[in-house]
Amino acid sequence: MAEEKLQRLEVVTPQAKVYGQDIRFVVIPGTEGELGILPEHAPMVSALKTGLVRVQNEGNTLKIAVSGGFAEVRNSKVTVLANAAEREDGIDVERAKAAKERAEQRLATKDPDIDLDRAEAALKRALNRLRAKGY
């Protein structure tokens, strides 16, 4: 049987390395759509939007909630440089729900002093974290 080809995936933020392992397949949330990356993919760079990095390895799927950043693919290595990233097994659902409610309340107040872009970004991040947990 032929040996299965793998690629290295590293997900890092300014604060920490969130993930680093050899994997078979990954889907990243590019700004122009989702990108599926297999080993030996052509070199590329893509900006990321808030979304889920889905890692498939040994029959399992791991979700990592990311918020913005960039991804680089080169020499069977995928490097995700995210503004923020959180593995699904590290997400506190109650905290994410509370963040969602706070953002929704800010948006509903229609207060002219509220930074709408910031509140909308907070809502997207909270919803993304909940989606990673299956909500």
Tens of pLDDT along the chain (135 residues)?
456 789 999 999 999 999 999 999 999 999 999 999 999 999 999 999 999 999 998 888 999 999 999 999 999 999 999 999 999 999 999 999 999 999 999 989 878 888 889 999 999 999 999 999 988
**CATH code, 7-89:** 2.60.15.10
Extents of the domains making up the chain: 7-89, 92-132
Q: Which of 128, 43, 117 is nearest to 82 (CA)?
A: 128
Q: Do domains 7-89 and 92-132 have the same CATH topology?
A: no
* Amino acid at position 1, single letter: M
Please give the pLDDT value at position 2: 52
What does the DSSP assignment read for 49-116?
A: -SEEEEEEETTEEEEEEEEEEEEEEETTEEEEEEEEEEEGGG--HHHHHHHHHHHHHHHHH--TTS-H
Class of domain 92-132: mainly alpha
The amino acid occupying position 133 is K
Q: CA nearest 43: which of 79, 73, 5?
A: 73
β-pairing, 77-87 vs 7-12, is parallel
